[in-house]
């Protein structure tokens, strides 16, 4: 039943002139899951989110939030979603508390409940010290927490987060995701865009987006398994020479530096082939340790999907 889905899109497309920002995406987000939207900057993540909350009209296709058509019932949908924009979009000339009162009030939180909800979130998001500080005077990480606070005061069923943790330090980022986890426990569906891989790990399901298209959808484990060939790592004496040499090999999907090591991904085969490549590197004059297998990460899948897409794009 489509009504069970928090978000469903059918061939959702957005064009800006000749440029297709979002290209026929079909998306299904289950109620209650944390769904990650992974992709490079400019791949269409934000445009998709902006269509979902009714800020942009789709050029083609349909989008449903909790079964409601985004274009037909934007106002009903708006009451049930919370949105944290990529940049600080609250009032810089109003204090933390004033911003929360304004947005809570506009979302229709009853007056007698508003104060206690604001108090609760101020405490939960460590905003106590800033309650009377102007939004513009807050550090970026604090602004993000305030944005989140203003977006959840009305207990939305769906929370849309557009790069909520960019320019936030890793510890704060982890705390941010702890809060998101708690919201999920209370039944909130969360759609979060990111290009940070460790955030992607915390999502129930992920979609990889590239140039307006969704390239892969699955749980983090499934996504990792899609990375294609096995990945090995060798320690090398000369990183740039090693990368240069490996780049010419057609039997590799790719090679990346990783500290003092080079990680390469095979098209076919396993340890035996990897040992041969290490030995070949040695013959090329690069001192080289033994090849050891690497557990694939989401990043590997991401890079290999991007790689295969660009291979196709160049007609090779």
Partner 1 sequence: MISGSRIKRMVAKEFRQFFRDKLMLGLSIMIPILQTLILSYAVNTDAVNVPTVVCDMDRTRVSRDFLASVTSSVAFAVIGEELSVHDVERVLDRGGAELALYIPSGFSRDLQHGDAQVLILVNGADSITATVASAYLIQAAASYDVEVKRETILRQGYRADALPSVRGETRVFYNPDLRSLWFMGPGIMAILLLVLLQSFAAFSISKEKELGTFEQMVITPIRPTEMLLGKIIPYSLIGALDAAAIGGVVVWVLGVPVRGSILVLAAAMALFILATLGSGLLLSAASANQQQAQMLNLFLAFPSILLSGFMFPRENLPLVFLWISDVIPMTYLLRIIRGVFLKGTGFAELWLPNLLPLAVLSVVFFVLGVIRFHKRLD
Q: Which is nearer to partner 1, 61 or 74 (CB)?
A: 74
How many beta carbons lie within 10 A of that of residue 242, not counting itself?
Answer: 24
Taking the complex as a whole, the smallest distance from the CB of residue 75 to partner 1 amounts, in Å, to: 6
Is 140 among the residues that bind partner 1 (CB under 8 A)?
no
Q: Which is nearer to partner 1, 49 or 209 (CB)?
A: 49
Among 23, 29, 58, 101, binds partner 1 (CB under 8 A): 101
Judged by CB under 8 A, the chain residues 24 through 83 that form the site for partner 1 are 53-55, 75, 78-79, 81, 83
| Pairing between β-strand 158-162 and β-strand 189-194 as defined by DSSP bridges | parallel
Is 107 among the residues that bind partner 1 (CB under 8 A)?
yes
Taking the complex as a whole, the smallest distance from the CB of residue 148 to partner 1 amounts, in Å, to: 13
Is 111 among the residues that bind partner 1 (CB under 8 A)?
yes
Taking the complex as a whole, the smallest distance from the CB of residue 54 to partner 1 amounts, in Å, to: 7
Given a contact cutoff of 8 angstroms between Cβ atoms, the answer to whether 88 and 143 are in contact is: yes
Tell me, what DSSP letter sits at residue 55?
S
Is 17 among the residues that bind partner 1 (CB under 8 A)?
no
Q: Which is nearer to partner 1, 53 or 191 (CB)?
A: 53
Q: Which is nearer to partner 1, 23 or 101 (CB)?
A: 101
Taking the complex as a whole, the smallest distance from the CB of residue 150 to partner 1 amounts, in Å, to: 8
Tell me, what DSSP letter sits at residue 100?
H
Please give the full DSSP string across 135-146, using - where no structure is assigned.
GGGS-HHHHHHH
Quick one: which of 231, 245, 239 has its CA closest to 279?
245
Taking the complex as a whole, the smallest distance from the CB of residue 202 to partner 1 amounts, in Å, to: 25
- Over its C-alpha atoms, the chain yields an Rg (Å, rounded) of 23
Taking the complex as a whole, the smallest distance from the CB of residue 79 to partner 1 amounts, in Å, to: 4
Taking the complex as a whole, the smallest distance from the CB of residue 83 to partner 1 amounts, in Å, to: 5
Structure tokens of 220?
């983090």
Please give the full DSSP string across 128-183, using - where no structure is assigned.
GGGTTSBGGGS-HHHHHHHHHHHHHTT--SEEEEESTTTT--HHHHHHHHHHHHHH
Among 62, 91, 249, 271, binds partner 1 (CB under 8 A): 91
Quick one: which of 56, 6, 4, 11 has its CA closest to 192?
6
Among 72, 106, 137, 240, binds partner 1 (CB under 8 A): 106
Given a contact cutoff of 8 angstroms between Cβ atoms, the answer to whether 224 and 231 are in contact is: no
Is 108 among the residues that bind partner 1 (CB under 8 A)?
yes
Structure tokens of 304?
């290999």
Quick one: which of 240, 215, 247 has its CA closest to 312?
215
Given a contact cutoff of 8 angstroms between Cβ atoms, the answer to whether 249 and 204 are in contact is: no
Taking the complex as a whole, the smallest distance from the CB of residue 205 to partner 1 amounts, in Å, to: 24
Would you tell me which residues interact with partner 1 (CB under 8 A)? 53-55, 75, 78-79, 81, 83, 85, 87-94, 98, 101-103, 105-108, 111
């Amino acid at each position: 039943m489509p009504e069970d889905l928090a978000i469903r899109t059918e061939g959702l497309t957005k064009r800006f002139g000749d440029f297709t920002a979002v290209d026929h995406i079909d998306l299904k987000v289950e109620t209650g899951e944390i769904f990650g939207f992974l992709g490079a900057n400019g791949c269409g993540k934000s445009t998709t989110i902006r269509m979902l909350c009714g800020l942009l009209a789709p050029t083609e296709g349909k989008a449903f939030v909790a079964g409601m058509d985004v274009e037909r019932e934007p106002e009903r949908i708006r009451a049930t979603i919370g949105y944290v924009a990529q940049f600080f979009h609250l009032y810089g000339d109003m204090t933390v508390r004033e911003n929360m009162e304004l947005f809570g009030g506009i979302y229709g939180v009853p007056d007698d409940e508003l104060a206690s909800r604001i108090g609760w979130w101020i405490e939960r998001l460590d905003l106590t010290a800033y309650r009377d500080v102007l939004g513009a005077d807050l550090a970026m990480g604090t602004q993000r927490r305030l944005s989140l606070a203003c977006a959840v005061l009305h207990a939305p069923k769906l929370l849309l987060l557009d790069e909520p943790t960019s320019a936030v330090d890793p510890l704060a980022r982890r705390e941010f995701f702890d809060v998101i986890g708690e919201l999920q426990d209370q039944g909130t569906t969360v759609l979060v865009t990111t290009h940070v891989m460790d955030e992607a790990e915390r999502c129930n399901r992920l979609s990889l987006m590239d140039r307006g298209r969704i390239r892969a959808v699955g749980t983090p484990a499934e996504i990792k398994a899609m990375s294609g060939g096995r990945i090995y790592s060798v320690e090398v004496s000369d990183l740039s020479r090693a990368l240069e040499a490996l780049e010419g090999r057609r039997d590799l999907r790719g090679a990346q530096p990783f500290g003092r090591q080079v990680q390469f991904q095979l098209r076919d085969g396993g340890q035996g082939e990897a040992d041969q490549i290490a030995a070949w590197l040695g013959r090329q004059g690069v001192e080289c340790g033994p090849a050891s297998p690497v557990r694939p990460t989401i990043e590997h899948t991401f890079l290999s999907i991007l790689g295969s897409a660009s291979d196709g794009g160049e007609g090779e």
